[in-house]
Amino acid sequence: MSVRPDTATATAATTADADPACAAAAPLPVLGRDVSVPLVTGGEVTYAALDYAASAPALQRVWDDVAAYAPYYGSVHRGAGYLSQLSTDLFENSRQTVAEFLGCREADQVVFTRSTTDSLNLLAGVLPAGTRVFVFETEHHASLLPWEQRGDLTVTYLDAPRTPQQAVDTLEKALAGREPYGPALVCVTGASNVTGELWPVRELAAAAHAHGARIVLDAAQLAPHHPVDIADLDVDWVAFSGHKLYAPFGAGVLAGRADWLQAAEPYLAGGGASRTVARREDGGVAVEWHTTAARHEAGSPNVIGVYAIASACKVLTEAGFDALVARERELIAKVRTGLAEVPQVKVLSLFGDDADRVGVLSFVVEGWNSSHFAAALSAEYGIGVRDGLFCAHPLVRTLLGSDPQDPGACGAPEGAPGERSEVGVPPAEGWGRSLNAIRVSFGAGTPDEHVERFVRAVKELVSDGARWSYRTEEGRCVPDRG
């Protein structure tokens, strides 16, 4: 059974007249591209969404696909009616689409979750008892924190490397020296959510396997920008979120080897995960769990979210990653060149200026509190960025050169936001005014004008200062409206 093409499959014309080359040469159409927002100084401007690393706007094609399917929505795996069977077919076809997008091997499973965080917590729950987990301190909290929730796992946190080769060497040394020699898992990001820098995933996977360990790739920031092929990278699992991949509705993916998933107790106990349930003579219940992906998908699944992910996978594949990457590199060059012209701006980096990266950059401005600067970008220029520690506290503190024990928070300080200091304030005083940074991020839906406006705004704020006064309200820096 398949969904009627005239109702639940949006036409390719929604992406630049169905020509992938045309679609890739220009920003892919996304929701919100024409939204106007008020400026505190008066008037309105088209909103420049430059916070893709947090949540990318939904692709128009994805939204159209979901809207076309919505009237046919029904329960999955549980109904005999037409809409239920159609929805089940759509759900399982989406699983196949995601598997193809990720280059899954024949025996791999694709499990649908709520997010990258959910996926990695699921994986943490199925690890064999006694597994040694190795994770760099540079990880997002989604891949840094799940492992210690179980008392029978041992976690080794690796220091931040300063080159890709140092990352491989650090992992090699840690794995070679592990005692006792048993099951081990390496968790690594594909692209940093703070610096955007690409990590040497293939080399880290080779190092892990050479020492009898498995590896999971956090592809939350990589998958929207670069192709991710499980077989080519030779990783054991990949985790990512739909909301980073231009798909709304809160769904995620864990894809990869099935053996540990099948051997473990279900992530959640409930309907859908169980094959049969029967009363035992002692009064309890005997359960036979599924061995397919359903084992870890208990409850009614997020059909809309799953279909949205599959639709996004198709749009990006049709557009062609080669063209998407080439255009994004042009945007990255514009931002980096513009920021390099402002001596007061320091771009954060682990691997140096020449490192390949996705459209994610974090920086601090001499003499500015980062929350104050981000608030001014929003209120005075209609530009949305992120400020704080980006759910990667150890990494940002390392990049800022602060002590790991220094207090810090993802937002404005308790006091009033710091004003600009005079040009020439020593870095120890200027850069360190607040233990947070500013992040600008963009992708396939970003027009050139958005990054050009951002660069212009940074230059104007640094040279002329904010045109409005600001105050701290509930931990956020906001315009003071009297």
Q: Find how far residue 148's CA is from the centre of its chain.
A: 21
Concatenate the DSSP letters of all residues of 106-119 into one string.
TT-EEEEESSHHHH
Burial class (CB in 10 A: 0-12, 13-18, 19+), 302: buried
Pairs from 292-296 (Cβ < 8 Å, separation ≥ 24): 292/109, 293/95, 293/109, 293/110, 293/111, 293/112, 293/261, 294/77, 295/261, 295/262, 295/266, 296/111, 296/122, 296/126, 296/254, 296/261, 296/266, 296/267, 296/268
Q: Is 391 assigned a catalytic role?
A: yes
Contact at 8 Å (CB) between 372 and 412? yes
Q: How far is CA 56 from CA 7, 19, 30, in A?
A: 26, 23, 9
- Written as six digits, the tokens of 101 are 């997008």
Per-residue burial over 432-464, b if 16 or more Cβ lie within 10 Å, else e, is ebbbbbbbbbbbbbbbeebbebbbebbbebbee
Report the distance separating Cα 38 and Cα 302, nearest Å. Answer: 35
Q: With contact defined as beta carbons under 8 Å apart, do 220 and 193 qualify?
A: yes
Q: Find the catalytic residue in 104, 313, 391, 477.
A: 391
How many CA atoms lie within 13 Å of 74's alpha carbon, on the beta-carbon side? Answer: 16
Q: Which two tokens stand for residue 330?
A: 């042009």
The phi and psi torsions of 157 (rounded to 5 degrees) equal -95, 125
Give dist(CA 259, CA 249) in Å, integer.
29
State the amino acid at position 332 in one-letter form.
I
Q: Is residue 24 within 8 Å of 320, Cβ to Cβ? A: yes
Cis amide prior to 200 (ω within 30 degrees): no
Q: How far is CA 450 from CA 441, 468, 471, in A?
A: 11, 22, 26
Q: Is-contact 76 87, C-beta < 8 A?
A: yes
179 CB-side CA count, 13 A = 1
Residues in the chain: 482
C-alpha dihedral (454, 458, 464, 467), degrees to nearest 10: 50
Residues 6 or more apart whose CB falls under 8 angstroms from that of 282 comprise none
C-alpha–C-alpha distance, residues 218 and 216, integer Å? 7
Residues that are catalytic: 391
